[in-house]
Amino acid sequence: MTQTRDSFHSRIGFVLAAAGSAIGLGNIWGFPTQAANNGGGAFLFVYLLVTLLLALPALYAEIYIGNQAQKNPVAALKEACQDTLPNVGKYAGIIGLCGAMMMLSFYTIVAGWMLAHALSAFTELLGLTSISQWLAISSTERNLLFTPLFILLGAAIIHQGVNAGIEKWSARLMPLLLVMLIGLIIYILRQPGAEKGLALYLIPDFSQVTNPKLIISAMGQAFFSLSIGVGGMMVYGSYMQKGKDIGKLAISITALDTFIAFMAGLLIIPALFVAQEAGLEVFSNNELIGEGQLIFKILPELFNSMGNVGLIVSSCFFLLLSIAALTSTISSTEVPVSYLMEDKNLTRSRATWLVSFVVLCASMLLIAFFDELFGLVIRVLTTILQPLSCLFYFIVVGWLWNRGNKLRDKALQEGRKWLPIWGNYLRFVCPLLLSVVFVNVAILN
Ligand code: PFF
């Protein structure tokens, strides 16, 4: 049975879906947590540099491969390497697919925390205080309830296809998230202690910018935030008609994503210091307490300090974050789903439920061994698997592409408006830069 491929109807449809994939928990939860753990301003500086020098070209390469192949990531990479290393291409695609599953296994847990907090504020508004308190406190039982709930929600949407509903939703709701972020930033910056956080965030300590741990964290965060290295952007690129200016699209997505991450840092890092001023223990040995879960204490406390209005703000804020998480989940799930549909002939519905079931099992494993696995899976994905995949994309676009070298040459030429040495930059500089960082990862591990 041949199934017609889904597609985005317009350029803007693609940008919205890709920005929906990029903007998610990585921006609001991952970026501020990493920045606070790695010296604030120094992290921001290196993050911006890595985004520009490596993540943006990798995003370009990833979208380009998918767009030219018009196939799922496994088939696209196999085809791109056909004449030289077809099996290597195929296995690289499968490794990316495993990365997408790894991402989903922990992402759905954190998204479940968002849902729980949205509901916690809502039940408090209704006067159901004991339920609200249970929902606000992290526990295995809460994870066991909300992770499957989130997976179910995602599956229910994805099995309907590249859905116009969710595209329209994101277009309306993401600006609302930005407005809320700005409102909250204005509020927090007027609280005592905020100026210390602001200084930490905006004034880089340049003595730290060469710290390998910081560089690796910034790179992992940048790759995660742009959804690259697991095939999510490749599959979206494959749903877009050929002939678009991919350089321009990649720049728009990167700019939007980086702006939201920057704004989230402007909210959360000062908020951490406001909380510290109010007596909460926030850092121990310069690291945030509690493996990234602390912001789930700080944010509700910030909302509580605003009285009843705070409860409404809180439930809207966490609900918007849950929706942002949903649009990111969709692109990651689309990687295995498109593979199962196109290469294994499953229907969309079957493929979606099968993938969701595997994700459910994986996330249950993570919940059962949370202390051992949660941080480890994130580190392996963002600092090893995603950079390795991106290195492979550079090599494919720069060297291996054999479907008539015209395509490769076009990819290498297209960015010349932006950067005259674009072709050589993708071929030589990007793989070299990434390899240098990578050697450091190996040494540090
Ligand atoms: N970019 C998303 C975020 O920042 O939350 C996470 C993500 C989505 C990673 C989709 C990978 C992916 F394929």
pTM for the structure as a whole? 0.92
pLDDT at 170: 65
pLDDT at 302: 79
Confidence tier at 243 by pLDDT (50, 70, 90): confident
- Averaged pLDDT for residues 393-408: 78
Nearest to 271 by CA among 371, 350, 197, 166: 197
**DSSP letter assigned to residue 288:** E
Distance from the alpha carbon of residue 99 to the mean position of ligand 1, in angstroms? 11
Helix (H/G/I), strand (E/B), else coil: 280:
coil
Distance from the alpha carbon of residue 195 to the mean position of ligand 1, in angstroms? 31
**ipTM, 2 decimals?**
0.99
Helix (H), strand (E) at residue 284: strand 283-284
Reported as a single tens digit per residue, the pLDDT across 110-150 is 999 999 999 999 999 999 999 999 999 989 999 999 999 99
Q: Is 215 exposed, middle or buried (0-12, 13-18, 19+ CB in 10 A)?
A: buried
**Of all atoms in ligand 1, which is nearest to the CA of residue 232?**
13
Q: Could you state, in order of their start, the residue ranges of all structural domains in the chain?
A: 11-112+139-444
**How does strand 287-288 pair with strand 283-284?**
antiparallel
- Residues contacting ligand 1 via CB (< 6 Å): 21-22, 24-27, 100, 103, 224-225, 227, 230, 232, 328, 331-332
Task: Look at residue 87 and tell me whether its pLDDT is greater than 60.
Answer: yes
Helix (H), strand (E) at residue 283: strand 283-284
Range with the lowest mean pLDDT among 6-10, 307-311, 323-327, 421-425?
Answer: 6-10
Distance from the alpha carbon of residue 317 to the mean position of ligand 1, in angstroms? 19
Distance from the alpha carbon of residue 91 to the mean position of ligand 1, in angstroms? 21
CB 341 within 8 A of CB 353: no
- Averaged pLDDT for residues 160-181: 72
CA dihedral 362, 365, 370, 372 (to 10 degrees): -100
Task: Look at residue 265 and tell me whether its pLDDT is greater than 90.
Answer: yes
pLDDT at 53: 96
- Averaged pLDDT for residues 284-298: 74
Reported as a single tens digit per residue, the pLDDT across 348-370 is 899 999 999 999 999 999 999 99
- Averaged pLDDT for residues 277-306: 77
Q: In whole angstroms, what is the distance from residue 49 CA to residue 10 CA?
A: 31
Signed CA dihedral, 376, 24, 290, 286: sign only: positive
Q: In whole angstroms, what is the distance from residue 159 CA to residue 164 CA?
A: 13
Signed CA dihedral, 216, 222, 226, 227: sign only: positive
Q: In whole angstroms, what is the distance from residue 61 CA to residue 56 CA?
A: 9
Distance from the alpha carbon of residue 160 to the mean position of ligand 1, in angstroms? 21
Q: Evaluate whether the domain defined by 11-112+139-444 bears CATH number 3.40.50.970.
A: no
Q: In whole angstroms, what is the distance from residue 387 CA to residue 116 CA?
A: 32
- Averaged pLDDT for residues 286-300: 74
Q: In whole angstroms, what is the distance from residue 93 CA to residue 339 CA?
A: 10
Q: In whole angstroms, what is the distance from residue 137 CA to residue 311 CA?
A: 16
**DSSP letter assigned to residue 207:** G
Task: Look at residue 342 and tell me whether its pLDDT is greater than 90.
Answer: yes
The residue to mutate among 104, 106, 227, 337, having the most atoms of ligand 1 within 8 angstroms of its beta carbon, is 227
Nearest CA to ligand 1 atom 11: 227
